[in-house]
Structure 1
Amino acid sequence: MSDPQSYDLIVIGSGPGGYVCAIRAAQLGLRTACVEGRETLGGTCLNIGCIPSKALLHASHQLHEAEHNFAKMGLKGAAPSVDWKQMLAYKDDVIGQNTKGIEFLFKKNKVDWIKGWGSIPAAGKVKVGDTTYEAKHIVIATGSDSAPVPGAEVEVDEKIVVTSTGALELSKVPKTMTVIGGGVIGLELGSVYTRLGTEVTVVEYLDAITPGQDAEVAKQFQKILGKQGLKFVTGAAVSKVETKGNKATTHYTLRKDDSTHELKSDIVLVSTGRRPFTDGLGLEELGVKTTQRGQIAVDDEYQTSVAGIRAIGDAIEGPMLAHKAEDEGMAVAEILAGQAGHVNYDVIPGVIYTHPEVASVGLTEELAKESGRAYKVGKFSFMGNGRAKANFAADGFVKIIADKETDRILGCHVIGPMAGDLIHEVCVAMEFGAAAEDLARTCHAHPTYSEAMREAALACGDGAIHA
């Protein structure tokens, strides 16, 4: 009989990367355990990140539709009022359904949940509480936490000055909110509160929101969000946030002229990115090498500088996305089982779940230009899409970047309805090395939003039909 405290694999962290790695490893025949100190599985994503924020985005979007579009469709009546406590209860119920689902999957696949916070006293050993477990392989999947505002005096209390964690459980809907950082988290949560009636101002250090996004998309995105009520201050360096009573004052300097300004609000949301969370693991004592940004350094098979210890997800380099972590989790499990685990980092989509949604994969036009390669662009506006016009969702466009010589799809950028779902058509095409013509010659059902993808592909060739 095997030692109950000995495993083929112990995964530390049960977020999307960790739980997927553990389940796949168990499916491939490895005796597997997952260490998690939270009361529920799922990590940041399921508990205080992706899932609860999407619940609030969905609820607040329904309110927006009722207030702005129902009457246009002949749906008459008083607009619904907001019961914030009930909305939070709905959000918590969604969290519970998802986290319990992971617990069920662990039991189904015979993955042991070791409850508590783990450390690695030596290679091949994981300590949780007073118990030390043996493991042939260890995978660090401890995720990330909110990063501080660079060079600024900002003290987070999760009541007035909050991260995304606090923003998901405010005691009431604030009248005013300052969002520091114009990235994904800030814009999603800023959208939630704008729909609920909060006056939201986004303060961004760079001259445009959504750093790294295709510039044309970012410009259109900011314009659309502005029409929805969000205010923007770009090119602004935050120096300090002061709290007094139940108010906060954000101090910032405009980089173009070095002028200083103040912005008062009920809540300040700090959303300036995330950083790897590896506290308490004992990595420094073990000699595990890290990058200058504090990420764990790994090779092509996710092996760290210490034999038998691997790392995935937000703890290592690359985009901090749940699905990137999932892919790495599956790849590591397959490698440990003697298979050829692989992640195609050129085909990892990114999505912003506002309304309209923004989604992208592959090269932006700016990156294509910088690379010096010959490329072409096919664009199509959702104004030419019948389904989008019928659903009051005609803002935005599809943009496909293709190689000028081979027609191979290099990237795609979508701002519009269901962009986060539409992008995967191009992901599959890119995974198989498809040309824009392949996409253009594929029959798409009518009327669907997906026809806009085909039209953009047609625009890479002889031209779109409905443009």
Structure 2
Amino acid sequence: MPEFDLLVIGGGPGGYVAAIRAAQRGLRVCVVEKERPGGVCLNWGCIPTKAMLRSAEVFQTVTTAAEFGIHAENVRYDFAAVRARKDAIVKELTDGVASLLRANGVTVIEGHARFTGPTTVEVLEVGASPVFDGGPRYAAAPGTRVREVSARDVIVATGSVPADLPIPGADLPGVVTSDGAFGLTEVPQKLVVIGGSAVGAEWASLFAAFGSQVTVVEMRDRLVPAEDEEIGRALGRSFTERGITVLTGATVTAIADGSPLRVSVSGPQAGDLAADVVLVGVGRKPNTGQLGLDIAGIATDTRGFIEVDDRLRTGVEHVSAIGDVTGRALLAHVASHQGLTAADVIAGHDARIDYSVIPAATFTHPEMASVGLTEAAALAAGHQVTVAKFPFAALGRARTFGETEGFVKIVAGRTHGEVLGVHIIGPSASDLIAEGALAISLEATLDELADTIHAHPTLGEIGMETAMAGLGLPVHIAPRKR
């Protein structure tokens, strides 16, 4: 008889949520995790970056406090204290996850897991480096503790790691990934960020706030190219106004050693850039290299991601996969919902994952958030659309808040006014996007958004105001000329 009903490999936002849900469904559950619980999100991604971005935001607010009638002298930041606050928050939250797992009766084994069969693994104790001999077992040092674990069902939730940059000099000291950036003990004077997507843009925004001379190199024609085109171009203008150099349509071809490093860039503004630190933010790859997927017979696509169906099942019976390793959407909240779905399916419930409404947020300054179709995607899908926009500058709460940059853009169907996409750049975008996600989920229309009474004065009013603009009935901005 298997030792557990369910074995979850990886304790990130997908894995620990799946484990808790499965335990709530009455299953005997084990989680194998080689680091602190919480995965990349809690330890190296979502939470620590947002903690440091909040420090940067507070610093910026204090340095501009005179605009609010508040005068502060000798304002400075303590980067060591910024990092210490981040570490304290991370520890509190990871300890909280560990406590939740215990409270739900989940067994947690610390170590590296590797398949020895479809539903069996061996776990190498934490502290020992796993070296594999090409066969089904670890080539572990004598005395290293290896534990055999079996389960009726297995969920692979091992997440992702930063992708390698295949250029000369990418392995030089001073070249760091988004994970490695947390090891920086001081703010670099000159920083080059390779990649202008969400990860690169957040780090650029953070270090610029602390005074770094930041250059962002993005190979596409705008920043955050996955976002609506108007949002990406607005962020580029905002970065430029803040003193961040933005090079689009550009590619880093090499990094040369030296003090400072020399970064060679090709494109319209080709040349060499000087950098104390080069931060590589060009994407992530599945963290499956030493998992032994082939031993279990688990198939991957050409990029190495595990292929799953809408119930998160792989092609191997009793083996599921969730989170970044599936390559569907590398977002913590998607991993969590995949975890809930997979656990329910394994527990015998009829559940499926729906990817049609996935909100995303990027915590730059200003923030960005989106859900649903961009204008270009809606047109490409054959929709006839109405596009509505409303600026934060016309919102009373934004004026009192002192944050008037940006706008909300709603993409709706022209005939019925159904909301197809919502795109925000501006204050609290990450919180405001929830209304957009709910609108799409409930198939709401511009009429319904406009007719919903919103509290005043709030930032949330902007959804109603944008909908009224889309109906050609704006109150607080001039109507568009027909």
Aligned residue in 1 for 2:238: 224
1:342 aligned residue (341, 352, 371):
352
Aligned residue in 2 for 1:251: 264
Aligned residue in 2 for 1:106: 101
Aligned residue in 2 for 1:196: 210
Counterpart of 2:370 in 1: which secondary structure?
Answer: strand
Question: What letter corresponds to residue 463 of structure 1 in structure 2?
Answer: L
Counterpart of 2:14 in 1: which secondary structure?
Answer: helix
Are 1:80 and 2:75 an aligned pair?
yes
How far the C-alpha of 1:340 sits from its partner, in A, is 2.5
Are 1:155 and 2:175 an aligned pair?
no
Preserved CA contact (<8 Å) 2:13 2:38: yes
- Counterpart CA distance in 1 for 2:374 and 2:402 is 27
Preserved CA contact (<8 Å) 2:310 2:354: no
- Counterpart CA distance in 2 for 1:424 and 1:329 is 21
CA shift digits 1:3-57 (9 cap, x unpaired) = 7x7111111111111111111111111111111001x111111111111100110
Question: What letter corresponds to residue 420 of structure 1 in structure 2?
Answer: S
Aligned residue in 1 for 2:335: 325
CA shift digits 1:363-394 (9 cap, x unpaired) = 00010111121111111111110010111111
Question: What letter corresponds to residue 157 of structure 2 in structure 1?
Answer: A
Aligned residue in 2 for 1:407: 417
2:152 aligned residue (136, 146, 159):
136
Question: What letter corresponds to residue 67 of structure 1 in structure 2?
Answer: T
Preserved CA contact (<8 Å) 2:111 2:123: yes
Aligned residue in 2 for 1:465: 475
Cα distance change on mapping 1:20 and 1:155 into 2, 3 Å:
same
Preserved CA contact (<8 Å) 1:88 1:169: no
- Counterpart CA distance in 2 for 1:464 and 1:325 is 39
How far the C-alpha of 1:152 sits from its partner, in A, is 2.0
Preserved CA contact (<8 Å) 1:67 1:79: no
Are 1:181 and 2:191 an aligned pair?
no
Aligned residue in 1 for 2:138: none
Q: How does 1:38-437 map to 2 (within 5 A)?
A: 38=35, 40-68=36-64, 70-129=65-124, 130-149=146-165, 151-156=166-171, 160-244=174-258, 246-254=259-267, 256=268, 260-437=270-447
CA shift digits 1:119-142 (9 cap, x unpaired) = 111012121121111111100111
Deviates more, 1:163-172 or 1:87-96: 163-172
Aligned residue in 1 for 2:141: none
Cα distance change on mapping 1:415 and 1:260 into 2, 3 Å:
closer
How far the C-alpha of 1:153 sits from its partner, in A, is 2.3
Are 1:21 and 2:18 an aligned pair?
yes
How far the C-alpha of 1:243 sits from its partner, in A, is 2.1
State the TM-score, normalized to the length of structure 2.
0.92
Cα distance change on mapping 1:280 and 1:457 into 2, 3 Å:
same
Counterpart of 1:116 in 2: which secondary structure?
Answer: strand
- Counterpart CA distance in 2 for 1:382 and 1:174 is 33
How far the C-alpha of 1:169 sits from its partner, in A, is 2.5
Structure 1 portions without partners, runs of 5+: none
Cα distance change on mapping 1:154 and 1:7 into 2, 3 Å:
farther
How far the C-alpha of 1:143 sits from its partner, in A, is 0.5
CA shift digits 1:205-235 (9 cap, x unpaired) = 1111101110011111111121122111111
Aligned residue in 2 for 1:453: 463
- Counterpart CA distance in 1 for 2:72 and 2:220 is 43
Preserved CA contact (<8 Å) 2:312 2:341: no
Counterpart of 2:279 in 1: which secondary structure?
Answer: strand
Counterpart of 1:168 in 2: which secondary structure?
Answer: helix
Preserved CA contact (<8 Å) 1:241 1:248: yes
CA shift digits 1:391-433 (9 cap, x unpaired) = 1111100111111122111110001110000000111121111
Identity %: 39
Preserved CA contact (<8 Å) 1:368 1:375: yes
- Counterpart CA distance in 2 for 1:419 and 1:115 is 38
- Counterpart CA distance in 2 for 1:154 and 1:398 is 41
Preserved CA contact (<8 Å) 1:380 1:464: no
CA shift digits 1:131-185 (9 cap, x unpaired) = 1111111001110011122x4224336x510011221231211110000000111
Pairs aligned (count): 456
Preserved CA contact (<8 Å) 2:118 2:295: no
Structure 2 portions without partners, runs of 5+: 125-145, 478-482
How far the C-alpha of 1:102 sits from its partner, in A, is 0.2
Counterpart of 1:399 in 2: which secondary structure?
Answer: strand
Preserved CA contact (<8 Å) 2:251 2:265: yes
Counterpart of 1:117 in 2: which secondary structure?
Answer: strand
Counterpart of 2:179 in 1: which secondary structure?
Answer: helix
- Counterpart CA distance in 2 for 1:233 and 1:122 is 49
Q: How does 1:434-445 map to 2 (within 5 A)?
A: 434-445=444-455
- Counterpart CA distance in 2 for 1:437 and 1:334 is 37
How far the C-alpha of 1:76 sits from its partner, in A, is 1.1
How far the C-alpha of 1:203 sits from its partner, in A, is 0.6
- Counterpart CA distance in 2 for 1:242 and 1:11 is 43
State the TM-score, normalized to the length of structure 1.
0.95
Preserved CA contact (<8 Å) 1:288 1:305: yes
Preserved CA contact (<8 Å) 2:62 2:72: no
Question: What letter corresponds to residue 63 of structure 2 in structure 1?
Answer: E
Question: What letter corresponds to residue 56 of structure 2 in structure 1?
Answer: S
How far the C-alpha of 1:79 sits from its partner, in A, is 4.4
Question: What letter corresponds to residue 81 of structure 1 in structure 2?
Answer: R
How far the C-alpha of 1:298 sits from its partner, in A, is 1.1
- Counterpart CA distance in 2 for 1:448 and 1:156 is 48
- Counterpart CA distance in 2 for 1:299 and 1:315 is 13
- Counterpart CA distance in 1 for 2:411 and 2:348 is 37
Counterpart of 2:153 in 1: which secondary structure?
Answer: strand
CA shift digits 1:265-293 (9 cap, x unpaired) = 10000000111111211112332111111
Question: What letter corresponds to residue 179 of structure 2 in structure 1?
Answer: T
